[in-house]
Amino acid sequence: MAAKTLLFALLLVASPFAFASDPSPLQDFCVADEISRVFVNGFVCKDPKLAKPEDFLFSGLDKPGNTSNKFGSKVTLIDASKIPGLNTLGVSMARLDVAPNGLNPPHIHPRATEILTVIEGSLYVGFVTSNPENKLFSKVLNKGDVFVFPKGLIHFEFNYGPTRAVALASLGSQNPGLIRIGESVFGSNPSISDDILAKAFQVDKKIIDWIQAQFASTN
């Protein structure tokens, strides 16, 4: 009996981690109250009686993103901060614009799987599995092609073509999060010690200092 009780207790403790994801809604919708000062995991719900159609609407995703930057790409994220009605629904989306030879740099979404659909041009995309395999799964996508990036894995999109590429992405979280590998490692504030990074990447500290300077100029 004691063993069964212990096992049941362990399952109760482990279950929140085994099924960790965006919380499921307990009502039809929970429109984010953007003026509330209460801090919660997500957004506080406003009174459903005050909800209006505009709470579920975003306009402008047809407009091209500005790719005039050193990477030549622009991500327009539509999440619960842009559409209050997305709060607790566990989804978001984004438009990706990539200029010729532009790159959406290697990054991860810590809280979401992503499914990407190319609607204009072509993209070379890929993701890398976790250690120790570190296997690259990559593909050239053309208009109408769809590719999936598993949750939490490093991935990228590169436009090797002569024209602008446009893609739409669906993400399995109202707040998928974004960690760009280069900016996080070499552009952190305060900076990670160049001794640590030189050891980690097995290069001279001068190389690390030079790379950090490139990212410092973008912050």
Q: What is the pLDDT of residue 2?
A: 55
Annotated binding residues for oxalate, written as ranges, equal 104, 109, 114
Annotated binding residues for Mn(2+), written as ranges, equal 107, 109, 114, 155
Q: Which of 159, 168, 64, 167 is nearest to 103 (CA)?
A: 159
The architecture in CATH of the region 53-177 reads Sandwich (2.60)
Q: What is the pLDDT of residue 12?
A: 39
Q: What is the pLDDT of residue 8?
A: 42
DSSP per-residue letters across 124-147: EEEEEPPTTT--EEEEEE-TT-EE
Residues 6+ apart with CB under 8 A from 56: 29, 31, 83, 84, 85
Annotated binding residues, written as ranges, equal 104, 107, 109, 114, 155
Report the chain (219 residues): mean pLDDT per 10 consecutive residues. Answer: 48 42 75 79 86 95 96 96 92 97 98 97 98 97 98 97 96 94 95 96 96 79
Domain ranges of the chain: 53-177, 184-216
Q: What is the pLDDT of residue 187?
A: 95
Q: Does residue 193 sit in helix, strand or coil?
A: coil
Q: Which residue has the tokens 């009996």?
A: 1
Q: What is the pLDDT of residue 4?
A: 54
DSSP per-residue letters across 141-165: E-TT-EEEE-TT-EEEEE--SSS-E
CA distance 27 to 155: 35
Which amino acid, residue 54? E
Between vectors from CA 180 to CA 175 and to CA 182, what angle results, nearest 5°? 165
